[in-house]
Amino acid sequence: MTAPTAAPSIPATGRWPWFGAFALLSLIGAQALGLLTSPADRDMGHLQKIMYVHVPAAWMTFVAFFVVLVASLRYLMTREERHDLLAASAAEVGAVLNGLTLALGMIWGRPTWGVWWTWDARLTSTLVLFLIFVGYLALRGFVDERDRRAQWSAAVGILGAINVPIVYMSVKWWRTLHQLQSSPSTVDPVYVLSLRANAFAVLFVTIYFIRRRYEAACIARVAEWRREAFALGGTSGQ
């Protein structure tokens, strides 16, 4: 295939570094709030504080993969490259958060459950979600041709995002070792406040990372476009 006639545009960084600083500060503040104000849980002691990263990371995994879903659908409808690059950026961030969710869950599970891992519906479906999006990122690395990469990625991204509601509902649909979703009625207010603060902080961090990875993806795409244009003997790429 030939390279597109025009180079993809790189979005301006603008004030995003300031938003990044705000996201980082809010994360530090929310973590400090959680670590300093929460009393030890009557069963778990201070192990409970893993909740302040594990739960927001799990929620933002869902948010990131929802962005993949929407961007992939928009790519298929419009065939505009920017949607494909946004989907890839959200998938990267989502995969990292998904891995973090699994790792922290295991660290919490070993002292609480007595095992690092077990094959119940929640844990298994979360691992499958992680593997799908690791596969999504690997797929992007394997395909050199732009249109095919974008189309195949969109298909895998949509199929992967279908698993998000399965992961969320798994504890309700099946009997699992993992507990049900907590709610303010099952969690003391002193923990709820810290959890909410951390959820917002991790949301800001997620938005920031998706945005900056999107800028990086656009820069990488321009570099690829220039290489292709050069290889085809065209103008050296404006």
Partner 1 sequence: MTASTTARTRRRRGAGIAIAVLVAAFAWMVFGGLDKNVVFFLTPAELAAKGNDGYEVPVRLGGQVKPGTIKWDDRTRDLRFAVTDGSGEILVHSTGAPPQMFRDGMGVVVEGKYGRDGVFRSSSLMVKHSNEYRAPKAGERPQDMYKTLMQGGKT
Measure Cα distances from 117 to 31, 35, 178 in Å: 26, 26, 11
Q: Which of 7, 33, 44, 222 binds partner 1 (CB under 8 A)?
A: 44
Question: DSSP labels for 119-169?
Answer: --HHHHHHHHHHHHHHHHHHHHHH--SHHHHHHHHHHHHHHHHTHHHHHHH
134 vs 151, which CB is nearer to partner 1?
Answer: 151
Query: Cβ closer to partner 1: 121 or 210?
Result: 121
Selected from 33, 166, 199, 222, the binder of partner 1 by CB under 8 A is: 166
Query: For residues 106 and 114, is the Cβ–Cβ distance under 8 A?
Result: no
Give residues 124-153 in contact with partner 1 (rule: CB under 8 A): 151
Is 230 a residue that touches partner 1 (CB under 8 A)? no
191 near partner 1, rule: CB under 8 A: yes
121 binds partner 1 (CB under 8 A): yes
Task: Please tell me the distance from the alpha carbon of residue 172 to that of residue 169, in angstroms, as a whole number.
Answer: 5
Cβ neighbours, 10 Å, residue 37? 12
Q: Does 175 interact with partner 1 (rule: CB under 8 A)?
A: yes
Instruction: For residue 168, give both structure tokens.
Output: 């969320």
Q: Should residue 79 be labelled a site residue for partner 1 when binding is judged by CB under 8 A?
A: yes
CA dist., res. 125 & res. 90, Å (int): 20
How many other CB atoms are found less than 10 A from the CB of residue 158?
17
Instruction: Return the residue of 11, 39, 135, 234 that touches partner 1, per CB under 8 A.
Output: 39
The rounded distance, in Å, linking the Cα atoms of 168 and 180 is 10
**Residue from 10, 40, 219, 232 in contact with partner 1 (CB under 8 A):** 40
Shortest distance, CB of residue 13 to partner 1, whole angstroms? 31
Residue 13 or 186 with smaller CB distance to partner 1? 186
Residues at the site binding partner 1, with contacts judged by CB under 8 A: 39-44, 48, 51, 72-73, 76-79, 111-115, 118, 120-121, 151, 154-155, 158-159, 162, 165-166, 171-177, 179-183, 186-188, 190-191
